[in-house]
Amino acid sequence: MKTVAAIRHVPFEDLGAFEAVFRDTGYSIHYVEAGMDDVAAIHPSADILVVLGAPIGACDEDEYPFVGDELRLLESRLSAARPTLGICLGAQLIARVLGSPVYRGACKEIGWAPVQWTPEGRLSPLQHLEDLPVLHWHGDTFDLPDGAQRLASTVLTPNQAFAFGPAILALQFHPEVEAKNFERWLIGHTLEIASVHGLSAGSLRHDARRFAAATAARGVRLLRDWLSSLPAKQSETAP
């Protein structure tokens, strides 16, 4: 069976609506819990690697040694052009592996808001999210890697999404989040929410009720299109 290895850093930032898509299209999902499981044990030739979000930084390997393991794994996958999806922290790690600096943004970008699509983004699987707010939850950002194709931007974050070849997709925002899971985000990020002027759990909850279901449904279409666009597998997956 085809396999998805998903690196999860905190329990509530999981595959969300993407999980059903992977299962429906014939993938077995294996969560690897960062800080508990051995990230280095993930074989670089797994069919798909997904690196999920986290409230830590892409340059924090001194404090969190598993970040170094993730970087080395991504180096192997990207050099072999193996299908890889990075969300939030995952996108930042991909950018760093591709040689771009990752650094603190002008301010934290948290909440539901639209993005602006590039012409390439409108022709990509991300086209399904056009005209819909998506969930942003990050304080760091990165420069566009050399050779990458910018797909989306916001005023605060010029590089919201990029592709690197046909098999590597990096998203700063969260199209996978489901309304039924969002309360866990509010609990897990309570201190961060309290630290941002004008932000509250109530306003985020209100917007999630308005937007999460539609955005997740479009996110499902995004992922299906991305999977169908992947190049044929070049080699057998290692056990």
* Separation of alpha carbons 74 and 55, rounded Å: 19
Q: Cβ-count burial of 45 within 10 angstroms (0-12 exposed, 13-18 middle, 19+ buried)?
A: middle
Q: Which pLDDT does position 1 carry in this prediction?
A: 83
Mean predicted confidence (pLDDT) in 177-196: 95
Q: Say what the pLDDT of residue 239 is.
A: 31
Question: Mean pLDDT across the chain, nearest whole number?
Answer: 94
- The band of 237, judged by pLDDT with boundaries at 50, 70 and 90, is very low
Per-residue confidence band for 235, with pLDDT thresholds at 50, 70 and 90 = very low
- Which pLDDT does position 234 carry in this prediction? 44
The alpha carbon of 17 is separated from its chain's Cα centroid by a whole number of angstroms, namely: 13
pTM for the full model?
0.95
Q: State the average pLDDT over residues 190-217.
A: 96
- CA-based torsion, 174, 178, 179, 180: positive or negative: negative
DSSP 73-142: HHHHHHHTT--EEEETHHHHHHHHHTT--EEEEEEEEEEEE--EEPHHHHTSGGGGGTTS-EEEEEEEEE
Q: Residues 20-33: what's their mean pLDDT?
A: 96
Pick among 3.90.1150.10, 3.30.300.90, 3.30.565.10, 3.40.50.880: CATH of 2-229: 3.40.50.880
**Given this model, what pLDDT does residue 233 score?**
64
CA distance 75 to 4: 18
